[in-house]
Structure 1
Amino acid sequence: MNQIETDAGALPPIEAELQRVVRPRARVIIDNDFSGDPDGLVQLADHVLSPSVEIRAIIGSHLRPGDPFDPSEQTATNAAAAAAEKVLDLLGRTGSIPVIAGSNVGLSDRTTAIRSDATDLIIREVLRDNTELPLFVACGAGLTEIASAYLLEPRIADRLTLVWIGGPEHDGIAAAPPGTSGAEYNLAIDIRAAQVIFDSRIPLWQVPRDAYRQTLFSWAELLTSVRPCGAIGRHLYAALAGVADTAGRHGINLGETYILGDSPLVLLTALHSSFEPDPSSSAWVTCTAPRILTDGSYDPTPRQGPRQIRVYTRLDLRLLFADFTAKLAAHAAARE
């Protein structure tokens, strides 16, 4: 069974063929701030259309207080959950995957968890003993829910891999963009949660800012390969174009590209090599996990001990975006 419970014969021809030749090889819990930067909506649509992973749950996470994306009518996590439900609806997958709103605030300190339906789901899924499929927790924003789950049940550390889009550049690997100040965007959502994770035993694959900024998709590509792809394509394009329109009203020119920075979550969990499964076409280094200071920078004092993490330095964007547009076009062709 993939993330949708249906017979292959009920699917459109291309999706049915994908279901026939591609079987799930991993489970994924998606955690993202879907009411924020709409790159998370692109990632979600791509992930849901990927037959090699079972999407076990979708968690709508919170934004940083005062974030310009923060909705005024409802809490950010409720808005995030609603935005995720909208994507599922446009993909014809309503009700197929649990969608849960996480905590709407970050950790108050590094030892006190915030228990929620989302943390309980994470713990329950991680501790399952009736499946051999490995589990990825794919986070495209803050780390409140996974950090809280770990504080509540440390045993989960040995039974999952966390893939996180976030954190600043590492010394010796890349430099920060010109004019950068303050904590990196996703890290700033909940710095205490990131401190918990970087000090934990959880296997971590980090996609820091220098790596996720590689995911440039041009507006010409969006207009020709995303917007024409049915209702979901129009929805994704409109969400991204809305950011450009808002930025323009504030005197910000976004140029010819948009950073689809959350899409590496799909590349690193679903698009693995056929033999010896791994994201083999992307490059990474193993380094000692730095400690994170309260201002969001890395502690320059070398950490003592064996805590190692995988840090991605180059992403296979050809595979990532060619696969995404092919899946989107196939989905649209079957429904229009």
Structure 2
Amino acid sequence: MNQIETDAGALPPIEAELQRVVRPRARVIIDNDFSGDPDGLVQLAHHVLSPSVEIRAIIGSHLRPGDPFDPSEQTSTNAAAAAEKVLDLLGRTGSIPVIAGSNVGLSDRTTAIRSAATDLIIREALRDDTELPLFVACGAGLTEIASAYLLEPRIADRLTLVWIGGPEHDGIAAAPPGTSGAEYNLAIDIRAAQVIFDSRIPLWQVPRDAYRQTLFSWAELLTSVRPHGAIGRHLYAALAGVADMAGRHGIDLGETYILGDSPLVLLTALHSSFEPDPSSSAWVTRTAPRILPDGSYDPTPRQGPRPIRVYTRLDLRLLFADFTAKLAAHAAAAG
């Protein structure tokens, strides 16, 4: 027999057992540019397979105009479609609301862009029928959460924002060699980032020096992702497509891929058993800087100091071992 047997019969498959012993301890709204870098698709699949979080909605957000990943003018619409595809391959079609956000960024720091996505964030944040804490896990620009805050500032007391983005902080890390311009996710909507950094929303930031730690090798992708069902093949093909695209432009990605959005799972789902917190990753408290129009930091806060978490080291063993174990378990359960 492939499974251990008891007097009651065979134990359930691993995925079913995981669902049985783990209960949701937090609510999560996922917000990502799924038509862009496919690292967001990996994050989404991992999050959906994590029973400790109750995913309340998935928001497809926009890219910068002309982004080579998706140069269309419907990037948030396309992002929502890409998220629906992942849910379908996981056998979860219709189980989680998928909403397209705005296809453009903020025009200024005071005017919100109202959408079904912002309304959902506000509604979920202001619920009074649950004690589960709410995280907004954002791996792209900050248009939707900034708009939601402008529309209803009370959400600042009702959620925590986990954001993949922003450049390195002085005294913590240096920018990568050859870097110029604003960090990628920050550049999607600098005005929205200015709103958030000047707001009262609790912020856990994973800046570029931290998310660049998430290196996953092509050998691991070939042996630990691609073999595991339709979703494994889909994720591998999406990442390999980036390597092919880069190669056509003379860029060699080497032996690794940065799965930079995956810390969203680590920091919301993979908390310690007692006193829940991402206890195996390291962070420092910083005063939230101002975001300047060019995407750099001004250490002088606009409205007085407020602390934010800045993550400096991520528990990659836990993150990636958990991802590949869940992917394998899902494939085995799906047959």
Q: TM-score range by the shorter chain?
A: over 0.9
TM-score, length-normalised on structure 1? 0.95
Q: Deviations over 1:141-174 (max 9, x none)?
A: 0000000000000000000000000000000000
Cα distance in 2 for residues equivalent to 1:266 and 1:168:
21
How many angstroms does 1:12 deviate by?
6.5
Q: 1:288, 1:303 within 8 Å by CA — same for their partners in 2? A: no
**Alpha-carbon offset, residue 233 of structure 1:** 0.1
Shift, 1:134, TM fit: 0.2
- Aligned-pair distance for 1:11? 12
Do the aligned residues in 2 keep the contact of 1:140 with 1:166 (CA within 8 Å)? yes
The 3 A distance-change label for structure 1 pair 161 and 277 is same
Compared with structure 1, are the counterparts of its residues 127 and 8 closer, same or farther at alpha carbon in structure 2 (3 Å cutoff)?
farther
What is the CA–CA distance in structure 2 between the aligned matches of 1:114 and 1:5, rounded to whole Å?
56
> What is the CA distance between 1:9 and its match in structure 2?
14
**1:23 corresponds to which residue?**
23
Structure 1 residue matching 2:137: 3-state secondary structure: strand
Q: 1:8 Cα shift? A: 16
Residue 142 of structure 1 aligns to a residue whose secondary structure is coil
- Residues 1:207 and 1:192: Cα distance change in structure 2 (over 3 Å): same
Provide the C-alpha distance between the structure 1 equivalents of 2:280 and 2:160, rounded to a whole number of angstroms.
19
1:289–1:303: 8 Å Cα contact kept in structure 2?
Answer: no
| Separation of aligned partners in 2, 1:279 and 1:209 | 19
User: Within 1, Cα distance between the matches of 2:6 and 2:85?
Assistant: 20
> Contact 1:8/1:19 (CA < 8 Å) preserved in 2?
no
Per the TM alignment, residue 299 of structure 1 is displaced from its structure 2 partner at its CA by 1.1
SS at 2:29's partner residue? strand
Query: Which string of whole-angstrom CA distances, capped at 9 and with x for unpartnered residues, describes residues 163-209 of structure 1?
Result: 00000000000000011000000000000000000000000000000
**Contact 1:33/1:77 (8 A) holds in 2:** no
C-alpha displacement at 1:7, in angstroms? 22
1:93-127 Cα deviation digits (max 9, x unpaired): 00000000000000000000000000000000000
How many pairs align? 335
Post-superposition offset of 1:298: 0.3
Displacement after TM superposition at 1:10 (Å): 15
Identity of aligned residues (%): 96
Cα deviation per residue 1:288-324 (whole Å; 9 max; x = unaligned)?
A: 0000000000014466723110000000000000000
SS in 2 for 1:163: strand
Distance 1:245 1:109 in 2: 37
**Would the alpha carbon gap of residues 2 and 106 (structure 1) be closer, same or farther in structure 2, given more than 3 Å must change?**
farther
Q: Structure 2 matches for 1:62-141, cutoff 5 A?
A: 62-72=62-72, 74-78=74-78, 80-141=79-140
> What residue ranges of structure 1 are gaps of 5+ in the alignment?
none
Q: Distance in 1 between matches of 2:33 and 2:55?
A: 17
Q: Is the 8 A contact 1:141 1:166 kept in 2?
A: yes
The alpha-carbon distance between structure 1 residues 73 and 105, as it changes in their structure 2 partners (threshold 3 A), is closer
Task: Give the whole-Å Cα distance in 2 for the aligned partners of 1:117 and 1:72.
Answer: 21
SS of the equivalent of 1:59 reads strand
Q: Is the 8 A contact 2:286 2:308 kept in 1?
A: yes
Write the mapping of 1:148-297 to structure 2, written as runs, cut at 5 A.
Answer: 148-297=147-296
Cα distance, 1:115–1:242 mapped onto 2, change above 3 Å: same
Q: Distance in 2 between matches of 1:187 and 1:270?
A: 24
* Counterparts in 2 of 1:7 and 1:125: CA distance versus 1, 3 Å: farther
CA contact 1:2–1:23 (8 Å) conserved in 2: no
Q: Is the 8 A contact 2:73 2:103 kept in 1?
A: no
- CA spacing shift, 1:6–1:26, aligned 2, 3 Å: farther
CA distance in 2, matches of 1:8, 1:83: 42
